Structure 1
């Protein structure tokens, strides 16, 4: 069931933003608007997020992803379009009503930890509940539970400066969890961490999600992080969403050369599954195949694996036999096969054309970074005021 819907969202900074939206709808591009003194940070973004889903929005700096996130909880007002959460149109709420929604229903975890240095770990984790006027005993109980979930049991009385960066980010996550918000918005939440700590936090989030089943929108510029965390991924470029799909969709059927260029360095063997790369079972059974029936193939197959098996686990069996690996359902019925040749073809590096160049920063990055920086400050004020 869809809990969050964004419909035709636009965010334009500068002069006459409503006029700029009409120009964009008529076919104008960002360069034309920039020449007129306006920046189109988000252009006609539409998507939905299901209950319990981790929906990742990824793109380069300046692509519009952080601006989009801030429109989802009203930290930035949309120039056009609507955001609905549990059927309620957030874009039509008053500032007071929005503050109430942010306090009770939507929590945000920032890239920078934004902890109060003069408050203990427990007090920081309980702060959102304090804003909600939850009684002290109750908020300390809930904050203690959230800290335990985040792996910080025993650190309740410590001060933020006694904690490592990863531990500080866990406090930020615990603060979001303590409010029991229905929707978590995570803006580059792990990108300031060292690689090993970052992976540990990703593990922590995935482990928590198994139990809590929160609805999460996660912003990142890192494709590997997006592939690891996202049930579905939206790829943004120049303010527009250019593809939405699972990690497998984006790897196997990229919407365009731009998306394909992102995926060239991804370890496809750890993202793709047997179900994603398998051929139809009929290709290995029947005339000329050597196997008259599925039962014969199953008996000769070097391995029988479920569809969710990571591709890297197939190399061993594929290298020991000319017979393809059998992909089976929960009842052991043959649903597909993975021959060695198909495996190698699918996981091989995609070819790039001469024009498929990724720059480290989009041309609009400086303008949006300035706007995003302002949004960051607004976010911190709203989250802690």
Structure 2
């Protein structure tokens, strides 16, 4: 899939637009420029050059673009600082751990300052602790760098943790695209439902999904008094709502938006949210 985005594999049908330009129609010279300037690639096997040190590896794509040694090394050193490897510039790949080599690969991609990052299972070969550390670092970098990233993984937990939008594929066909909450709470078919069956919903489902609208609540319980009930927001997740309910001893949480109460979350609604059952508001 990612090799279609930069046309290392030519799509047999359809179009691929990057910044409004269809790369399937580009001449080879223009395509090479787009690959060099707009797209960075990070894969499971980083293919670092063993005879070059870390700084030279990070600066390699800039060298291919004809950028002078002093400037490209300055850019490379900055990229290494971003991935917290500033002191390893003179070292060689075989002197680094697997996790550090992955960070060098990420630094190499970032050094080119691409608009798009293509990442194909970059952390899958690492042990769980290092993998989670790199995920945390990637999330931190993503917030700072503001790059568009296409991240391929077979680990749904990783996809949910990292992705703003998730696309699930089956037999080469896109089955569903949506936010992590959409995927978990509204699976498109049985395949997706089975795929997400073991996923905890506590940090994926939010108040706006499980709350009763204030109009429905008042209709159902016209004499209910919400005064003194704890307050939360539509974007609070189930875990935080449970903590709030436990700490206050409340049975109802008011959901406020723009200074107005837009809904309520009851104990029953929380349980249904955890179990994945639909809210009954008939």
Gapped runs of 5+ residues in structure 1?
1-67, 351-385
The reply to whether residue 327 of structure 1 matches residue 255 of structure 2 is: yes
Q: Report the CA distance between 1:185 and its aligned residue.
A: 0.7
Distance 2:238 2:34 in 1: 43
The reply to whether residue 300 of structure 1 matches residue 233 of structure 2 is: no
CA deviations 1:318-350 (Å, max 9, x no partner) are 345453122222x44222221111111121167
Distance 2:163 2:249 in 1: 34
Distance 2:220 2:276 in 1: 33
The reply to whether residue 111 of structure 1 matches residue 39 of structure 2 is: no
Distance 1:277 1:214 in 2: 32
Specify the SS of the correspondent of 1:284: helix
The reply to whether residue 121 of structure 1 matches residue 48 of structure 2 is: no
Aligned partner of 2:263 among 299, 315, 336: 336
The reply to whether residue 227 of structure 1 matches residue 170 of structure 2 is: no
CA deviations 1:194-227 (Å, max 9, x no partner) are 1111111111111111111101111111111111
CA deviations 1:134-184 (Å, max 9, x no partner) are 111111111111111112121111111121111111111111111011111
Contact 1:264–1:349 (Cα < 8 Å) also in 2? no
Aligned partner of 1:210 among 135, 143, 148: 143
Contact 2:185–2:276 (Cα < 8 Å) also in 1? no
Distance 1:268 1:216 in 2: 24
- TM-score normalised to structure 1 length: 0.68
The aligned runs of 1:39-58 (5 Å cut-off) are: none
Query: Which residue pairs with 1:185 in the alignment?
Result: 118
CA deviations 1:206-252 (Å, max 9, x no partner) are 11111111011111111111111111111101111011110111111
Following TM superposition, the consecutive aligned residue runs of length 4 or more in structure 1 with deviations greater than 4 angstroms are none
Aligned partner of 1:269 among 187, 191, 202: 202
Distance 1:332 1:171 in 2: 47
Query: Which residue pairs with 2:96 in the alignment?
Result: 163
Aligned partner of 1:82 among 9, 15, 24: 15
Query: Which residue pairs with 2:275 in the alignment?
Result: 348
Specify the SS of the correspondent of 1:146: helix
Distance 1:289 1:261 in 2: 40
RMSD of the TM alignment (CA)? 1.7
Query: Which residue pairs with 2:280 in the alignment?
Result: none
Gapped runs of 5+ residues in structure 2?
278-282
The reply to whether residue 195 of structure 1 matches residue 128 of structure 2 is: yes
Contact 2:231–2:254 (Cα < 8 Å) also in 1? yes
Q: Report the CA distance between 1:274 and its aligned residue.
A: 2.1
The aligned runs of 1:368-379 (5 Å cut-off) are: none
Contact 1:300–1:323 (Cα < 8 Å) also in 2? no
Distance 1:285 1:162 in 2: 66
The reply to whether residue 237 of structure 1 matches residue 170 of structure 2 is: yes
Contact 1:228–1:271 (Cα < 8 Å) also in 2? no
- TM-score normalised to structure 2 length: 0.92
Contact 2:52–2:92 (Cα < 8 Å) also in 1? yes
Q: Report the CA distance between 1:97 and its aligned residue.
A: 2.5
Q: Report the CA distance between 1:316 and its aligned residue.
A: 3.0
Contact 1:248–1:276 (Cα < 8 Å) also in 2? no
Q: Report the CA distance between 1:287 and its aligned residue.
A: 6.1
CA deviations 1:336-367 (Å, max 9, x no partner) are 221111111121167xxxxxxxxxxxxxxxxx
